[in-house]
Each structure stands twice: as structure tokens, then as C-alpha cells.
Structure 1
């Protein structure tokens, strides 16, 4: 598990360092999000093809990360209510995240917006806590 976590962390940090080579489109939907994350850089595409399925697997297994970050801690706490589909594209990935729970939809949409901030600002953003929407009802204690 430690080697897997170190690998996932290294891929994430490399993506953050290459954030200026990433384009991301986020569509908020009534039941969640659809996001396309792309790049013209083959290294970035390979990293996305590694990172995104790994994060789906971690969510499915409840193998959390960023425990200090409320939005990520909440997402893993609610993982049983999140349906996630990942499609690998020639230039990146498409992700659909959905829930039938309106509270979890709010969380999914907030997480999608946080990923947009990671793409826009890289490591500077990743060092900060991710905001939770005021209307989101936490399941974990702050």
C-alpha cells in the first residue's frame, strides 16, 4: 500500500507541475458532473491515464488521501453514494461522477471545481484546503 500511495502521490505532483499544459472543461449536471481533461503533451496524457483510473479505484476501495482537506475527506466518507465512470481519450480523460443523494451531488460538484483550481494554479492550490459549499451537510466532524 505504501508503494502504491507513493506512486499516486508522485503522479499527482507531476501533474501539478505540468498544470499549464492541461485543459479542463467542467459541466455541472443535475446529478453530478462531466469533466474532460486534456493535453497536447504526451507525458501529461500518460499521467492522466494513470492518475484518473487510480483515483477511481482509490474511491471504490475507500483508500483515502488528503485527509487534512475537508472536501476530500468528505468525498471518501461519502464514497458509497458516488458513481464514477472514467473514459480514456486519445488526448486525456472524460469523467462522469453522479449521485442520487442531492447532498452528495453538491459535494461532487464542489470537488469538480477544486480540480479546476488545481489545473489553473498547480501546487500553489494543492497546498490549500478545498472549500466545502455552505449548503453541504457534513458527515464528518470538522
Structure 2
């Protein structure tokens, strides 16, 4: 008889524990940054710095393959090297990797992003620099040539528009910083350093 009177308490405690567990999981999922539906708001990523999964590389309009290319580039940034020449009307960049797999990801990323700019398809990657907004707004003002050569992937981008020239040179410097420091460069930019 004593067991029968304790049964409702056991059920009550078990139910309360389950309710707390479900509420906790719901809270964690609702505040998770791993949702691709996160608002594209440059630097509004608040999910912390997860070097393993790099959730900030997900984009509202980016394919899983594009996000994976960026992960490869960030994970193996120490195999990359880059030279940038600021031209009066734009930039000339040469970027390479000592790792053939990274070089393949690099070439695909560069060609894919330039194609996205040409077609106006902003990937809206969570950690994306606001500098790229100008590219997508004024894509018709950029002249681009790409050459995959022995020295690396050579990109020349020019414009007659002063705002675009500034954006090209600013973005080239941002990419160089990422080549030199990897994800730390992004963290510093997002943290306002």
C-alpha cells in the first residue's frame, strides 16, 4: 500500500524532469546559431567561435559545397600565400596554395564568387564582410579577368567607379588578412578589432 501512494509522486517527479529537459532542449535549439535561416546581418553572428564546424560559413543562399570550400580554405590557410597590387582603378591579386586540394577549393571558390557577383546572387554568408554589398549592388561596374596559371590564380578587377575601386581594394586587404591569419582575422573583424 505504501508503494501505491508513492507512485503518483514518482510519476510527478518524472514528468517534471521530462518537462524541464524538453524546455531546456527547446531553449538551446531556439538560440542555436546552426540554423541556416539566421538573419544575414554582417557580424551579427553570436554563436561563438566553433573552429570545428565553422557555423558562420553557412549562408542564406550558399550551397553546402560552397560552405565546405570555405571550411577547407580556413582550416588550411597556412598553405595559402597571396600578393596584392592596388592599381589606380582596382586590384591585381595572385593567390596560391602549396596543397593541391586547397588550390582546387580556392580556384572553385574564386570563380564561383565572381560568377555570383556577375549574376547578383549574394550568398549571404553569416560572417560575410559588408564590403561585398557594394559588389552585388554595382556588379555591372566591375571588369574582371581570371587566369589560373603556374603562379596561382590571378585575378584582375577594375572599375571606373571610385566607390567600387575602394571596395575592391578593401576586400583584397580583408582576404589577404584571412590568408595570413585564418579565422582569427574574421573573429577580430566581427569583434570590432
TM-score, normalization: structure 1? 0.81
- Which residue is 2:76 aligned to? 18
SS in 1 for 2:131: helix
Q: Which has the higher contact order (CA 8 A, sep 6+)?
A: 1
Question: Can you list the C-alpha shifts for 1:4-43, whole angstroms capped at 9, x where unaligned?
Answer: 6221111012101111111100000001000000122111
Looking at structure 2, the residues matched to 9 and 37 of structure 1 have their Cα atoms a distance apart, in angstroms, of 19
Aligned 8 A contact 2:134 2:164 in 1: no
Q: Comparing 58-67 with 18-27, which one deviates more in the overlay?
A: 58-67
1:1-80 equivalent positions in 2, closer than 5 A: 5-65=63-123, 66=125, 69-80=129-140
Q: More strand by proportion, 1 or 2?
A: 1
1:113 lines up with 2:173 in the alignment: yes
Structure 2: give runs of 5+ residues left out of the alignment: 1-59
Structure 1: give runs of 5+ residues left out of the alignment: 132-142
Task: Quote how far apart the aligned CAs of 1:69 are.
Answer: 3.1
- Which residue is 1:92 aligned to? 152
RMSD: 2.2
